[in-house]
Amino acid sequence: MSLTHDQILQLAPDEASKKAGQQLANSAKWVEKYSHEKALWGDCQGSGSKPYKTIIDLQNLAFKCSCPSRKFPCKHGLGLLLLFASQEKTFSKQEALAEHVAEWISKRDAKAENKDQKKEEKPIDEKAQQKRIEAREKKVDAGIDELRIWLKDVVRTGIMQVPQNPYQFNHNITTRMVDAQAGGLAAQLRKMNQINFFEEGWQIQLSRQLASVYFLTEAYQNKSHLDELWQKELNTLIGWPTSKETVLEQTPVTDHWLIASKTYQEEANITTEKIWLYGYEHQQFALLLNFYAGNQLPQHIYNTGNTLHADLCFYPGVRPVRAIIRQQHALQPGFADLIGVSSLQTVLEQIAGQLATQPFLADIPFILSAMKIIFENGSWYLQDWDRSVFSLSNTEDNCWDLLAISKGEPFSCFVLYEYKQLHIHSVWQHQNFYFIQ
């Protein structure tokens, strides 16, 4: 497994660990350091009398360290991995794993096998499962009823006062939706807290989101009138989980996928990882969505701008975008140039078309080509060849970075559309790929 400096730093639990890890990426700090195709291990001299023993499992990235730090991975793990990334030659290459390393790795392997076995062995109790579904349905229905009452209360009194208390006005109902096992609705309510209430336009955004959530509850309550796909789509939007097995039963799509964007969002100790992919052959987008609790490590160590050759299975729905990897064939560095939509008028038409098919769409992805970035009266826009412009939601700093990268010349980019604005996630020009953080 070869990781870049940036990728390793992304594993750090906080800024202090990043800095400390970088300082430990120094051969002088390590009394011993060894490498093996399966693992890295070394002894780092800390403030204690005995050096700390650090091990890194390179097959399924994991860290172990004898230091007392509660951070995960600790600075020693990060330091050792950073040092390996920059000065691999300074590590003594070993044919066999050291005893304590082999013991830890084998324990991990055994644990993983047991987990799989347990899954396979466990028979499904259909009666109990049905009971659980019914109980959940009751909970969800009750939660939705409460949500509808809350929404009506909000519009009865008006939203004028919301900016005075933007983080609390929906706190209780959001928690209630979590209790009602309607995670999808809770997520939609949380999204309202991301509105910038200090900026003009919040009124429309909040009204739209309130109305959309209400509309979703109506659709859910009337889902029996809809076809099976829509029922699944609505279930997913409300927060019903679709089992991995069900998804893997879908026909896989094999393609070379460009890793177009990778973002992390942390909320209530849960980190949401969103990886956007684009298939070269099928010209289709896919979203790998992962959730990590606490200090759990990311499942995929993918770098934007690389190409993933894999079979993906899509979650069933009206417009299937979310997917999981059924089989990964290869992860290739670099990317092939892509020709995307070059007219913003076409983008607008496609947005209208997609909203008509699925009005609850939150993000609509596009690959755009021959775009320029411009600014006018303090606002930033994407401009196409016939001077049509589309407003950007990237930060001011992001936009200057984009201008510096493109030098005012046309470029290709991956963007997400969200309520009348585009957000540039990555750009490529002259065979160079840039992920906009």
Residues at the contact surface with other proteins, assessed by CB under 8 A:
5-6, 9, 18-19, 22-23, 25-29, 31, 47, 49, 87, 151-153, 155-160, 203-204, 206-208, 210-212, 214-215, 218, 344-345, 348, 351-352, 355-356, 359, 372, 374-376, 381, 383, 386-390, 397, 400-401, 403-405, 407-408, 419-420, 434
Q: If you search the block for the tokens 């097959």, which residue do you land on?
A: 59
The residue (of 99 and 376) whose beta carbon lies closer to other proteins is: 376
Closest CB 388 distance from other proteins, rounded Å: 5
Residue 267 phi/psi, 5-degree rounding, is -150, 130
Assess contact for 227 and 300: CB atoms under 8 A: no
Q: 290-299 long-range contacts, Cβ below 8 Å, gap at least 24?
A: 293/269, 294/269, 295/13, 295/71, 295/72, 296/271, 297/11, 297/61, 297/62, 297/73, 298/10, 298/11, 298/273, 299/273
The span from the CA of 177 to the CA of 154, in Å, is 16
The span from the CA of 193 to the CA of 166, in Å, is 6
| Count of all residues that appear for the chain in the document | 437
The residue (of 335 and 390) whose beta carbon lies closer to other proteins is: 390
The residue (of 301 and 361) whose beta carbon lies closer to other proteins is: 361
Residue 334: Cβ within 10 Å count? 10
Angle between helices 183-192 and 228-238 (to 10 degrees): 60
The letter for the amino acid at 60 is: N
The residue (of 44 and 253) whose beta carbon lies closer to other proteins is: 44
Kind and range of the H or E run holding 238: helix 228-238
DSSP category for residue 223: G
Closest CB 416 distance from other proteins, rounded Å: 15
The residue (of 219 and 324) whose beta carbon lies closer to other proteins is: 219
The letter for the amino acid at 213 is: V
The residue (of 57 and 401) whose beta carbon lies closer to other proteins is: 401
The residue (of 248 and 403) whose beta carbon lies closer to other proteins is: 403
The residue (of 64 and 372) whose beta carbon lies closer to other proteins is: 372
Residue 247: Cβ within 10 Å count? 18
CA distances for 24 relative to 41, 72, 73, 373, angstroms: 14, 15, 13, 40
Closest CB 57 distance from other proteins, rounded Å: 25
Nearest to 197 by CA among 188, 205, 189: 205
The residue (of 164 and 269) whose beta carbon lies closer to other proteins is: 164
Closest CB 250 distance from other proteins, rounded Å: 29
Nearest to 151 by CA among 174, 179, 118: 174
Closest CB 96 distance from other proteins, rounded Å: 26
Token output for 383: 């401009």
Chain centroid to CA 6: how far? 17
Closest CB 271 distance from other proteins, rounded Å: 20
Closest CB 323 distance from other proteins, rounded Å: 26
Residue 169: Cβ within 10 Å count? 18
The residue (of 331 and 351) whose beta carbon lies closer to other proteins is: 351
Closest CB 151 distance from other proteins, rounded Å: 6
Closest CB 393 distance from other proteins, rounded Å: 14
The residue (of 25 and 325) whose beta carbon lies closer to other proteins is: 25
Closest CB 299 distance from other proteins, rounded Å: 25
Residue 398: Cβ within 10 Å count? 18
The letter for the amino acid at 258 is: L
Closest CB 339 distance from other proteins, rounded Å: 21
